[in-house]
């Protein structure tokens, strides 16, 4: 077997392994891009934004608490600034949406040195919070969900499973928010959504990273190892193929 062909096979194997590893990580629920966006920037307290210090050009991770005059009253004393609920049914082997509810309230993100306004309607989805998940039979869904399921089954076949995933931000939560800090014409700081929207979590950073790291640790570990091996195969195979071509020339 020509040595150049062997290196080409190595490159091909690296590409295949990279694709498989990425699919495994996706199946495990890994959200590497969001984790990198949230963990990478420096952390600023709200009070630091209010000082005379020059605000950074890149997004920052802002820490603060919620103060809202008009929260969402959910009953039972629960007061929220964001309520996201997705209801899906498994029809014909594919999850299909029957409800996508988004309700939010603007609020002040504050600490003892001051506050800045934040609109969670501009948040990237999903919110980085521990979700409440319900799974059951599609027959348990009531109107208007039941009517939507009936229409889906007419088009795509029987529905075999249903789920509802709810994510919320409570007025008592302490938040970490990835945002771009700028100043208005009067010099007061404000938070603008970076590319991809605000990343908002009510978890400590380490806990948020674990949540974004996926549900199945074994799958995640296998995917990460596979991705590392694929990079090594691509590097060795690519360099080897290049040198082989140079020597053959």
Q: For residue range 180-225, what is the model confidence (pLDDT) as tens digits?
A: 999 988 888 999 999 999 999 999 998 998 888 755 455 444 545 5
Boundaries of domain holding 189:
41-211
Q: Please indicate, yes or no, whether residues 227 and 164 belong to a single structural domain of this protein.
A: no
Q: Are residues 87 and 109 in the same domain?
A: yes
DSSP class of residue 172? T
Same domain membership, residue 22 and residue 45: no
In this prediction, residue 219 carries a pLDDT of 45
**Higher pLDDT, residue 237 or 21:** 237
CA nearest to 204, candidates 38, 57, 10, 48? 38
Residue 35 lies in a domain: no
pLDDT of residue 31: 75
End-to-end CA distance of the chain: 18
Residue with tokens 């590409």: 15
Same domain, 96 and 5: no
In a domain, 100, yes or no: yes
DSSP letter, residue 198: B
Give the count of domains, the chain.
2
pLDDT of residue 52 exceeding 60, the answer is: yes
Q: How confident is the model at residue 235 (pLDDT cuts 50, 70, 90)?
A: confident
Residues 135, 14: one domain? no
Asked, for residue 17, whether it belongs to a domain, the answer is yes
User: Would you state the pLDDT for residue 60?
Assistant: 96
H/E element holding 223? helix 217-248
**pLDDT the model gives residue 18:** 61
For the entire predicted model, the pTM comes to: 0.76
Output DSSP code: residue 128.
Answer: B
Shared-domain flag, residues 109 and 155:
yes
Q: Are residues 199 and 124 in the same domain?
A: yes
149 found inside a domain: yes
Mean pLDDT of 220-242: 60
> Residue 246: its pLDDT value, please?
67
pLDDT-based confidence at residue 72 (cuts at 50, 70, 90) = very high
Residue 36 inside a domain? The answer is no
Question: d(Cα 222, Cα 25) in Å, to the nearest integer?
Answer: 8
Looking at the structure, do residues 162 and 224 belong to the same domain, yes or no? no
My answer on whether 132 and 47 are in the same domain is yes
Same domain, 122 and 230: no
Q: Is residue 65 part of a domain?
A: yes
Same domain, 5 and 108: no
Domain presence at residue 109: yes
Both 68 and 188 in a single domain? yes
CB 104 within 8 A of CB 200: no
Of 1-15, 71-85, 140-154, the one with minimum mean pLDDT is 1-15
């Amino acid at each position: 077997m020509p040595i150049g062909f062997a290196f080409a096979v190595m490159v091909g194997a690296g590409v295949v392994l990279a694709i498989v590893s990425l699919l495994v990580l996706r199946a495990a629920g890994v959200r590497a891009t969001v984790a990198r966006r949230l963990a990478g920037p420096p952390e600023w307290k709200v009070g630091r934004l209010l000082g005379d210090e020059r605000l950074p050009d890149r997004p920052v991770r802002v820490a603060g608490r919620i103060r809202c005059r008009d929260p969402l009253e959910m009953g039972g004393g629960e007061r929220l600034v964001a309520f996201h609920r997705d209801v899906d049914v498994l029809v014909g082997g594919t999850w299909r949406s029957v409800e996508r509810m988004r309700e939010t309230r603007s609020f002040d993100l504050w600490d003892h040195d001051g506050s800045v306004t934040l609109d969670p309607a501009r948040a990237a989805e999903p919110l980085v919070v521990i979700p409440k998940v319900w799974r059951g039979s599609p027959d348990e869904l009531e109107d208007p969900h039941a009517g939507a399921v009936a229409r889906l089954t007419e088009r795509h076949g029987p529905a075999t499973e249903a789920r509802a995933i709810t994510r919320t931000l409570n007025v008592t939560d302490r938040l970490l928010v990835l945002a771009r800090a700028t100043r208005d014409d009067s010099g007061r700081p404000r938070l603008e959504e970076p590319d991809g929207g605000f990343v908002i979590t009510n978890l400590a950073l380490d806990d948020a990273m674990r949540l974004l790291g996926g549900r199945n640790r074994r799958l995640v570990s296998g995917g990460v190892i596979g991705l590392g091996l694929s990079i090594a195969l691509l590097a060795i195979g690519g360099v080897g193929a290049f040198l082989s071509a140079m020597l053959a020339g």
